[in-house]
Chain A
């Protein structure tokens, strides 16, 4: 069976520090205003039992991705290993996928943007005109995962082939791995805790699981 990569995020551990957000920006050189990953901050409950929860979100790499279904160009595709990808050379920037995504995961940026108005050398070095006016989103750091096939390493175990956000998490709240491998860390964690996926009722089959309690 081919691998199917998922992410497990333990909400009991997340402290909302946004280190994963910063790591993603650094790893993927997303411009100001474009965040492939963010950490939402939500209060719930009534006084005196009020909670504050941090919810890290990104593209959920859905098993049934509505973005791919509506894409008129086939630029958006789902790979065998579960990663949902965008071919920037085929995308026409119609934003159909943005409307189809219930997770607000996609962005189209039409103009280059720089942190301080004028480009700095490091921004220029990593700016990619091919990513202008097309849809972009979290890739699950697909270049790293693809490298695993060459190096023989295991995504989710070896940091070199694991998404940057997972590597960066200061509280160890994020885990990445193959849900088809019964020995993987993600499977063990999911077996040992209660979890949910966001908007499961929409039938998208998101690949990010959130742990909220012990079994």
Chain B
């Protein structure tokens, strides 16, 4: 049945408006920066001085945190963010970020493998914490799905590998890491496919499915087919330009996906009416769950 009017529509899910491009920037830059630190740690045994990549990773994470600091309502109280390590993944993200900056600074100054690996592990920790922040948001069905966190982690590490292989233009020794990028892109493609299938299965707001449908083709081709093809070809043939292009495609596609995930696809739960009440001497009627792809709850 067609419904109209503002009052009637209010039961339907709506796009969240509390986190805008600034919050998306934190997920985009923080994920890519954390992933880059991890990828740089993996590349560190090559013996190439990659400290500038560590600086870039720290700068990206810092940019993301700055963006989110500009978004919060009371920035002067920002340090209160450390108060709930017991249950809040936002607190844990802040703690991991603190460790990440300390380890990253030590890695840049001391150039010690232990510091580089600690920075890399903190990078993974940050990406994981970001995934868990979304996972615990019960009000946004697209985020609370278990595979969303996996997708955010897969995207962060893929972007990190993408940034690493872009640096093959400066350090050709990094060219073989095109294979790592390709493997991560395959993994992300698998998670992306399973995530979308599962969303359809359990039911989500229709707007969420539409937002993901709209990016599926470019995301699969630019974010996966190109990095897989060029990454492997460039690594096998020793072409830094090919792996750099593969990396750029992975980074751009990952950023665009996260922008959609935080914005367009982030519809709220909305309301459901399991039963229409019995009025007067009448019988109860059927309920409603407007705006959902399935009547069944997730």
**Interfacial residues, chain A to chain B (CB-CB below 8 A):** 10-12, 38, 40-47, 49-51, 53, 55, 57, 66, 68-75, 90-96, 98-104, 108, 110, 132-134, 194, 196, 198-199, 201-202, 204, 210-214
Contact = CB atoms under 8 A, between A and B. Distances in A.
B272 interface: yes
Contact of B140 (A73, A99, A211): A99
Contact of B288 (A43, A75, A210): A43
B68 to A, nearest CB: 8
Nearest to B262: A99
Contacts, number: 182
What is the interface of chain A mostly: helix, strand, loop, or mixed? mixed
Interface in B77-118: 77-78, 80-84, 87-91, 94
Interface stretch (B1-9, B161-169, B240-248): B1-9
A198 B271 CA distance: 7
A110 B73 contact: yes
Contacts of B284: 212-213
B285 A70 contact: no
A121 to B, nearest CB: 27
Given A55-B271, A101-B138, A196-B274, A74 B10 contact: no
Contacts of A132: 73
A184 B3 CA distance: 39
A199 B81 contact: no
Interface in B1-27: 1, 3, 7-8, 10-11, 14, 16, 18-19, 23
A198 B297 CA distance: 11
Task: In the A-B complex, list the 5 residue pairs whose CB atoms are closest, starting with the nearest.
Answer: A93-B73, A133-B73, A44-B288, A11-B277, A51-B276
Interface string B255-291: 0000000000010111111111111000011111010
22 contacts: A12-B277, A40-B7, A42-B271, A42-B288, A43-B288, A44-B273, A45-B1, A66-B138, A72-B80, A73-B77, A92-B75, A92-B78, A92-B80, A94-B81, A95-B73, A96-B137, A99-B137, A104-B139, A108-B73, A199-B297, A210-B277, A212-B284
A199 B94 CA distance: 31
A199 B269 CA distance: 9
Q: Which of the listed residues A73, A133, A201, A202 has the most CB atoms from chain B within 10 Å of its own CB? A: A73
A72 B132 CA distance: 13
Contact of B290 (A42, A91, A94, A194): A42
